[in-house]
Amino acid sequence: MTQVKVLSDKPALIAHALDLIVDKIHTTLDQQAQFTIALAGGSTPKPLYEALAQKSLPLEKIHIFWGDERYVPGDHPDSNQRMARQAWLDQVDFPTVNIHPMPTGRNDPSVDAQTHNQELQEFFGVKTGELPTFDIILLGMGDDGHTASLFPQTEALTVSDRLITVGNKDGQPRLTFTYPLINNARCVIFLVAGDNKRPALAEIFSPNGDETLYPAKAVKPQGELLWLLDEAAGAQLK
């Protein structure tokens, strides 16, 4: 099921996403013992993470992952892990074992990608060829239509035999969830704000859009797909 919601501005988008996520955490934990969420990087979700830090949540039952990571140390200014820790995770009492960052320390992205692939298999108790199911995967979208670190016309778009692969942004390596892992989620939530995202959104919501040029278009989860847009990004889609 795909739903597109256009909110009046970015604060309204963040507030709506916050309510949605907090509600999903509670309803999911009524049914199962733990909740798994993969965080998006970039700048859009930072105020959402800051707002989540103000909420009283059953942190011991929530497990945090990332959908992609720049191939830099965890304390580097470009690190998605660092952003989420500063905005949320280090502001509250998360058990350390509940935070599962993408490893970037082996000086070889493909080795670290394989390591994280195994870490996910162990955590979710799945074998090679089986797919874990995240409760929520948060995604952003670049103005080129990329999502996670699945960039236009890159090899990562074609990887379907593993959970984690090496993405490539202008020659800079990144670790990223693959499409099969993303599309096996119970719920994928895109957070997209700003008029610079309009052209890519027009392509993604066009029947003729090219998925290799606009990779976010190929996100078609088995579960829910929610696009949360601000007016600046999504006015033409209303």
Binding positions for ligand 6PG, rule: CB under 6 A: 40-44, 68, 70, 80, 140-142, 146-148
User: Strand 172-177 and strand 68-70: pairing?
Assistant: antiparallel
Round to whole Å and give the CA distance between 60 and 43: 26
Q: What are the C-alpha distances in Å from 49 to residues 17, 42, 88, 123, 140?
A: 10, 12, 5, 23, 14
Round to whole Å and give the CA distance between 11 and 231: 11
Q: How far is the CB of 30 from ligand 6PG (least distance, A)?
A: 30
Round to whole Å and give the CA distance between 45 and 141: 11
Query: For residues 40 and 225, which CB has a smaller minimum distance to ligand 6PG in the complex?
Result: 40
Q: How far is the CB of 40 from ligand 6PG (least distance, A)?
A: 5
How far from the centroid of its chain's Cα atoms is residue 152's Cα? 17
Query: For residues 28 and 44, which CB has a smaller minimum distance to ligand 6PG in the complex?
Result: 44
Q: How far is the CB of 93 from ligand 6PG (least distance, A)?
A: 26
Query: For residues 41 and 221, which CB has a smaller minimum distance to ligand 6PG in the complex?
Result: 41
Q: How far is the CB of 150 from ligand 6PG (least distance, A)?
A: 8
Q: How far is the CB of 56 from ligand 6PG (least distance, A)?
A: 27
Place of tokens 């992609």: 68
> What residue is closest to ligand 6PG based on CB?
140
Query: For residues 28 and 81, which CB has a smaller minimum distance to ligand 6PG in the complex?
Result: 81
3-class secondary-structure state, position 28: helix
Amino acid at residue number 47? P
Cβ partners under 8 Å of residue 138, min gap 6: 37, 38, 39, 40, 45, 48, 67, 189, 191
Token couple for 81: 């892990």
Query: For residues 29 and 231, which CB has a smaller minimum distance to ligand 6PG in the complex?
Result: 231
Q: How far is the CB of 143 from ligand 6PG (least distance, A)?
A: 7
Query: For residues 44 and 183, which CB has a smaller minimum distance to ligand 6PG in the complex?
Result: 44
For residue 13, the surrounding DSSP H or E stretch is helix 10-31
Q: How far is the CB of 18 from ligand 6PG (least distance, A)?
A: 16
Query: For residues 7 and 40, which CB has a smaller minimum distance to ligand 6PG in the complex?
Result: 40
Round to whole Å and give the CA distance between 142 and 218: 14
